Protein backbone atom coordinates (compact mmCIF):
# COMPACT_ATOMS: atom_id res chain seq x y z
CA UNK A 1 0.00 0.00 0.00
CA UNK A 2 1.19 3.50 -0.74
CA UNK A 3 2.27 5.61 2.21
CA UNK A 4 0.98 8.80 0.62
CA UNK A 5 -1.87 10.71 2.23
CA UNK A 6 -3.89 10.84 -1.01
CA UNK A 7 -5.05 8.11 -3.31
CA UNK A 8 -7.21 8.37 -6.40
CA UNK A 9 -8.59 5.57 -8.52
CA UNK A 10 -11.10 5.05 -11.27
CA UNK A 11 -14.20 3.31 -9.92
CA UNK A 12 -16.25 3.36 -13.14
CA UNK A 13 -15.21 4.31 -16.65
CA UNK A 14 -16.81 3.59 -19.97
CA UNK A 15 -19.88 3.78 -22.15
CA UNK A 16 -22.91 1.72 -21.20
CA UNK A 17 -26.35 0.89 -22.51
CA UNK A 18 -29.07 2.51 -20.36
CA UNK A 19 -29.97 -0.67 -18.47
CA UNK A 20 -26.31 -1.48 -17.77
CA UNK A 21 -25.75 2.06 -16.51
CA UNK A 22 -28.83 1.78 -14.33
CA UNK A 23 -27.53 -1.43 -12.73
CA UNK A 24 -24.11 0.09 -12.08
CA UNK A 25 -25.28 3.44 -10.75
CA UNK A 26 -28.22 2.20 -8.71
CA UNK A 27 -26.02 -0.54 -7.28
CA UNK A 28 -23.63 2.08 -5.96
CA UNK A 29 -26.43 4.33 -4.70
CA UNK A 30 -28.34 1.48 -3.06
CA UNK A 31 -25.19 0.39 -1.26
CA UNK A 32 -24.78 3.92 0.14
CA UNK A 33 -28.49 4.08 1.06
CA UNK A 34 -28.19 0.80 2.99
CA UNK A 35 -25.11 2.09 4.81
CA UNK A 36 -26.84 5.31 5.84
CA UNK A 37 -30.06 3.54 6.85
CA UNK A 38 -28.04 1.33 9.20
CA UNK A 39 -26.19 4.36 10.57
CA UNK A 40 -29.46 6.22 11.14
CA UNK A 41 -31.03 3.23 12.87
CA UNK A 42 -27.94 2.75 15.04
CA UNK A 43 -27.86 6.43 16.06
CA UNK A 44 -31.55 6.38 16.84
CA UNK A 45 -31.22 3.31 19.07
CA UNK A 46 -27.96 4.29 20.80
CA UNK A 47 -28.37 8.05 21.14
CA UNK A 48 -32.11 8.65 20.49
CA UNK A 49 -30.95 10.87 17.62
CA UNK A 50 -33.80 11.20 15.11
CA UNK A 51 -32.51 13.90 12.71
CA UNK A 52 -29.14 12.51 11.76
CA UNK A 53 -26.87 13.26 8.83
CA UNK A 54 -27.55 9.76 7.54
CA UNK A 55 -31.29 10.39 7.27
CA UNK A 56 -30.62 13.43 5.08
CA UNK A 57 -28.14 11.47 2.93
CA UNK A 58 -30.75 8.73 2.34
CA UNK A 59 -33.19 11.36 1.08
CA UNK A 60 -30.57 12.90 -1.24
CA UNK A 61 -29.45 9.52 -2.54
CA UNK A 62 -33.07 8.48 -3.15
CA UNK A 63 -33.56 11.64 -5.21
CA UNK A 64 -30.39 10.82 -7.17
CA UNK A 65 -31.73 7.30 -7.87
CA UNK A 66 -34.98 8.79 -9.15
CA UNK A 67 -33.04 11.15 -11.44
CA UNK A 68 -31.01 8.25 -12.81
CA UNK A 69 -34.19 6.29 -13.53
CA UNK A 70 -35.53 9.31 -15.41
CA UNK A 71 -32.28 9.54 -17.42
CA UNK A 72 -32.52 5.85 -18.28
CA UNK A 73 -36.07 6.30 -19.59
CA UNK A 74 -35.04 9.39 -21.58
CA UNK A 75 -31.91 7.77 -23.02
CA UNK A 76 -33.79 4.62 -24.00
CA UNK A 77 -36.50 6.61 -25.77
CA UNK A 78 -33.90 8.72 -27.58
CA UNK A 79 -31.47 5.94 -28.56
CA UNK A 80 -28.67 7.20 -26.32
CA UNK A 81 -26.15 5.56 -24.02
CA UNK A 82 -24.36 6.62 -20.84
CA UNK A 83 -20.75 7.68 -20.65
CA UNK A 84 -19.75 7.32 -17.02
CA UNK A 85 -16.53 8.45 -15.39
CA UNK A 86 -16.43 7.96 -11.64
CA UNK A 87 -13.28 8.68 -9.71
CA UNK A 88 -12.75 8.13 -6.02
CA UNK A 89 -10.30 10.36 -4.19
CA UNK A 90 -9.20 9.39 -0.69
CA UNK A 91 -7.31 11.81 1.53
CA UNK A 92 -6.08 10.81 4.96
CA UNK A 93 -6.67 13.54 7.52
CA UNK A 94 -5.89 13.64 11.23
CA UNK A 95 -8.72 13.07 13.69
CA UNK A 96 -10.01 16.11 15.51
CA UNK A 97 -8.95 16.25 19.15
CA UNK A 98 -12.58 16.03 20.30
CA UNK A 99 -13.07 12.84 18.29
CA UNK A 100 -10.00 11.25 19.92
CA UNK A 101 -11.54 11.62 23.39
CA UNK A 102 -14.73 9.77 22.46
Average pLDDT over every residue of 24-38: 93
pTM of the full structure: 0.76
Query: Within a 10 A sphere around the Cβ of 41, how many other Cβ atoms?
Result: 13
User: Which residues, including other chains, have CB under 8 Å from residue 7's CB and lie 6 or more apart?
Assistant: 89, 90
Nearest to 83 by CA among 11, 9, 12: 12
17-35: burial string, b at 16+ Cβ within 10 Å, e else:
ebeebbebbbebbeeebee
* pLDDT category of residue 4 using cuts at 50, 70 and 90: low
For 62-83, write each residue's pLDDT tens digit: 999 999 999 999 999 999 999 9
Q: Span 96-102, mean pLDDT?
A: 59
- pLDDT reported for residue 98: 58
Amino acid sequence: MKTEKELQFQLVEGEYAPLEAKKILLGLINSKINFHQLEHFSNEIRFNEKNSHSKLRVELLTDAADNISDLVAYSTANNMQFKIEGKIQITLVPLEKTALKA
